[in-house]
Amino acid sequence: MSAARGQVGDSLTSKGTLTLALAIGLATLLFAVPALYNGFPFTFYDTSSYLFLSFHPMRTPFYSLFILLFHWKISLWPVILVQGLLLAHLLYLTMRVAFGAVDLRHYLVICLVLAVCTSLPWFTGQIMPDIFTSVAVLASFLLAFGLDRLQRLEVAYVFLLLAGAVTLHLSNVPLTLGLLLVVLAYKLLFMRGALLRPAPFALQAGAIALGVAGLVLANTVMFGHVGLSAGGKAFLVARSVVDGPGRQYLEESCPEKHYRLCDYLDKITDDSDHFLWDPDGPIRLAGGAEALAEETDAIFMAAFERYPGWHLRMALDHVVTQLFLFSTASELISLLDRDFMHRSIEVNVPRELETWRSSKQNRNTLPLATLALIGNVTAAISFPVAVAVVVVLWRRRDWTALALLVMVAAALVGNAMISGAVSGPHDRYQSRVIWLLTFVALAGALACFRKRPRQAPADGSG
């Protein structure tokens, strides 16, 4: 391991740490261009609650704390620069671990393509934790397969990034656990020697465990609920009710059970977001997710027991839909008519209220249709390129590089399963990770065109 780390250090010295820093800095600026074009960091409905550091039973407080470290109620621009910097650096580390020595020209070409043709900069430039789903995927790969190709400080840094990413969005918990299983299965099939070295597994599992412990501690302190979320199964109940089986169960059971939600059956629409979040939605009218936690748990379990096939069919339909639903920036609509959003900007970053109001997003002048078309075409081209890269890497028996493509594929499917089945299909859920397909396709293709430098056999060195 020390020899491999020495090779990394020599490589960095020969290229010049200053050159590398400039390349990563340029990539960071490339990822900030869409927000600069907009005139303000992108905002979403949930941005308001993150700015206010409001303790919500169905969200974690950690993204609020993260962004507070950088905006200090002065400006949101440092937040998106930090998010862009994290991704720019992670991309470099990932290329170095997966494909060997990094040609910085190739690195910058890849970052330019990602900045122009994919959803990546539209999430690094957004005041939302969605970008950390991709951070979790890349950090999982680096810990699982990169210990012999990273320096000790880099390993510690990636460990903390993975733990942090787990705390920043609840969906990252099942996703990272799923990727842990994928790593174990992959090494069992292709890198059995790796199973004799527990360090990568221990670090990956330890980072996830640390993040989960943070979530449990936060919920215990804030809501007195020992678990990941004090909101119970509100998301699952919303999906069940809107899809049909949950509503059918309530209509059949309300005369006897007298759930609080029974008083608001006439408020149910075909929109799960309305059910969960709107002031005139059933959850809010019945007392809120925290107050209904025990009730929603009971409703979902009873409805699932009565109609398991119905639930599974609807979940499968949503997962398949979500897998191919990823229009870039489709959610970036004007929020000027949302009083809560106006107030959150005015209270938390008052100096930027006017620039927020005059942003292209709030004037509805972003070229959303063009962005969606570019993103969809890019993804369509990336898929066959990624398949071709897989074939080449398989023939070369380059198991570490191949592992990156396998983990990205697993992440795309896992993200669709978690988001589609639990919350329902939305463009932004798959859009936040679909850019990874373009990254591995392009980075893999460029690496396949050059002779890879000899390394120690990847027999489990990850």
For the chain, the structural domain boundaries read: 2-224+342-448, 234-323
**Structure token pair of residue 412:** 């795309």
Can you tell me the distance from the alpha carbon of 189 to that of 171, in angstroms, rounded to the nearest whole number?
27
pLDDT band at residue 12 using 50, 70 and 90 as cut-offs: low
Q: How far is CA 59 from CA 83, 167, 430, in A?
A: 20, 10, 19
- pLDDT at res. 232: 59
Can you tell me the distance from the alpha carbon of 90 to that of 17, in angstroms, rounded to the nearest whole number?
16
Lookup result for tokens 């942003």: 359
**39-43, 168-172, 456-460 — which one is most confidently predicted on average?**
39-43
Residue 196 pLDDT > 80, yes or no? Answer: no
Question: Are the C-beta atoms of 417 and 316 separated by less than 8 Å?
Answer: no
User: Residue 44 CB: number of other CB atoms within 10 A?
Assistant: 18
- pLDDT at res. 292: 78
Give the DSSP letter string of 372-390. HHHHHHHHHHHHHHHHHHH
- pLDDT at res. 454: 43
Share of the chain above pLDDT 70, in %: 93
Question: Are the C-beta atoms of 297 and 232 separated by less than 8 Å?
Answer: yes
The chain-wide mean pLDDT, for the chain, equals 90
Can you tell me the distance from the alpha carbon of 283 to that of 274, in angstroms, rounded to the nearest whole number?
9
pLDDT band at residue 10 using 50, 70 and 90 as cut-offs: very low
pLDDT band at residue 13 using 50, 70 and 90 as cut-offs: low
The two most distant CA atoms of the chain are separated, in Å, by 76
**Structure token pair of residue 443:** 């980075």
pLDDT band at residue 455 using 50, 70 and 90 as cut-offs: very low
Quick check: pTM over 0.85? yes
Min mean pLDDT across 6-15, 17-26, 46-55, 298-307 is at 6-15
* φ and ψ at residue 95, rounded to 5 degrees: -60, -40
Choose between 422 and 440: higher pLDDT: 440
Question: Are the C-beta atoms of 75 and 404 separated by less than 8 Å?
Answer: no
What would the mean pLDDT of 254-269 be, rounded to a whole number? 87
Residues 6+ apart with CB under 8 A from 373: none
User: Residue 328 CB: number of other CB atoms within 10 A?
Assistant: 29
Can you tell me the distance from the alpha carbon of 329 to that of 32, in angstroms, rounded to the nearest whole number?
14
Can you tell me the distance from the alpha carbon of 291 to that of 247, in angstroms, rounded to the nearest whole number?
20
Q: Is the dihedral of CA 118, 430, 52, 60 positive or negative?
A: negative
Question: Are the C-beta atoms of 31 and 120 separated by less than 8 Å?
Answer: yes
Residue 92 pLDDT > 60, yes or no? Answer: yes
Lookup result for tokens 């309305």: 274
Q: What is the CA radius of gyration of the chain?
A: 23
The amino acid present at 108, given as its one-letter code, is: L
Question: Are the C-beta atoms of 413 and 430 separated by less than 8 Å?
Answer: no
- pLDDT at res. 229: 74
pLDDT band at residue 391 using 50, 70 and 90 as cut-offs: very high
Residue 458 pLDDT > 50, yes or no? Answer: no
